[in-house]
A and B are shown apart, each in its own frame.
Chain A
């Protein structure tokens, strides 16, 4: 009887102070039945990538309100590639432009959530990509 849980790491990199969005999603994901790890603020992309591998998470969920999502996600993906890891999925949310959104999807993220997007949409996106219900 497998008792598999979806494991998500909410990550914040750089010097962005805004934390409410990340904390909101943390509660939303926990209440959706996921196991959630939060990196805390001001982490390096390499640190996030390594921690995600050690924790064997299914998903890295990046939060940022400083307009740096593209840069951060690119660096995390590079750090994962460096370790030869290609099976951790990535999503993000926060402040972004239309161009950012396009770039992020092009980079292979499975969900990109702007400010004001309903939280349920994020939960649904995770369930869909993980193939549950």
Chain B
């Protein structure tokens, strides 16, 4: 363990230095030895002051452009903003082009804004373990709002709702019909649908379609639908009003979400640890299965038995 690195970050975290936040995120994201020391502290000392907003949706929908504009709007209202922007890592090389920040780069010299880019690093679609843990670090600082931009709509994405107060799903006119929206499970996770690129000709039609589709959902839990043109900023002040408004109402669900989250978190941390510890056994028995010496089912039972004995 690199004690200087770990304890250095920890000390800085206690003093709420930005630099330490940057370093601590790397430690957690890289799974560096000693990261638990930082995470334990962060978990015990986090505050619940920030409004947590998740923005998800298909690539190219305009999420980053929207985030850029809502940062601007929150800053006008004198609120401090933290941003976590997740882009996909290549499953082949592990490399990634973290492209979200380009759209928001002008905020780099504003001390009231902190933006951090993440590669999804193996997480299917949604947000990685490292990203989730980084949120605890963010919550040790005095942000009024924390925005998480992540790519994609899919099973993994439903998880993000347990980490944030408000889930925004950004779509664009022409992105699938109402059946596809339902199939992707988006109406269950969205608190707000934002139809971006409202400058496109079929935006109104798309809005009407979606409105009709959502009528089947009881009014109290029916997602809002907003329209924006992120490139010009049209609809952004209204969107920020809605985020704050929905956020204030959703905060009552924090307890409920935490309960769901804590369980899934213990589970995934545990699975991570087990997977790491048992990787050798998996490799060894995979050979046997490939050589037709045993079935995959026998292999897993064998490893299971080993775990039980300890």
Contact = CB atoms under 8 A, between A and B. Distances in A.
Most buried by A among B95, B96, B102: B95
B18 A39 contact: no
Contact of A56 (B26, B93, B99, B121): B26
Interface of A is mostly: mixed
A26 B93 contact: no
B45 interface: no
B114 interface: yes
B230 to A, nearest CB: 16
Contacts of B116: 54-55
A30 B32 contact: no
A32 B30 contact: no
Contacts of A83: 19
Contact of A32 (B89, B93, B119, B121): B93
Given A54-B116, A56-B23, A56-B25, A47 B105 contact: yes
Most buried by B among A32, A54, A55: A54
A68 interface: no
A32 B92 CA distance: 10
A29 B95 contact: yes
Given A5-B119, A35-B96, A54-B116, A30 B105 contact: no
Interface in B6-48: 18-19, 22-23, 25-26, 29-33
Contacts of A32: 93, 95
Interface string A34-60: 111111100110111011011110000
A59 to B, nearest CB: 14
Contact of A51 (B29, B32, B105): B105
A28 B205 CA distance: 42
A21 interface: no
A36 B117 CA distance: 10
A3 B23 CA distance: 15
A43 B109 CA distance: 10
Contact of B97 (A4, A26, A40): A26
Contacts of B89: 35
Given A44-B109, A54-B22, A56-B26, A37 B117 contact: yes
A1 interface: yes
Most buried by B among A2, A46, A55: A55
Contacts of B31: 1-3
Nearest to B33: A2
Contacts of B26: 56
Interface footprint category on A: 20 to 34
Given A30-B96, A35-B96, A54 B105 contact: no
Contacts of A1: 31, 276
A47 B32 contact: no
A31 interface: yes
Given A2-B30, A2-B33, A3-B31, A33 B108 contact: no
Contacts of B119: 5, 35
Given A1-B31, A4-B32, A53-B22, A46 B95 contact: no
A50 B109 CA distance: 6
B108 A51 contact: yes
B246 interface: no
B268 interface: no
A78 to B, nearest CB: 15
A19 B80 CA distance: 32
Contacts of B121: 3, 5
B63 interface: no
Interface of B: 18-19, 22-23, 25-26, 29-33, 89-90, 93-99, 101-102, 105-106, 108-109, 114-117, 119, 121, 276
14 contacts: A3-B29, A5-B30, A5-B94, A27-B97, A30-B95, A31-B90, A38-B101, A39-B105, A40-B105, A43-B105, A43-B108, A47-B109, A51-B101, A51-B108
Interface of A: 1-5, 26-27, 29-40, 43-44, 46-48, 50-51, 53-56, 83, 85
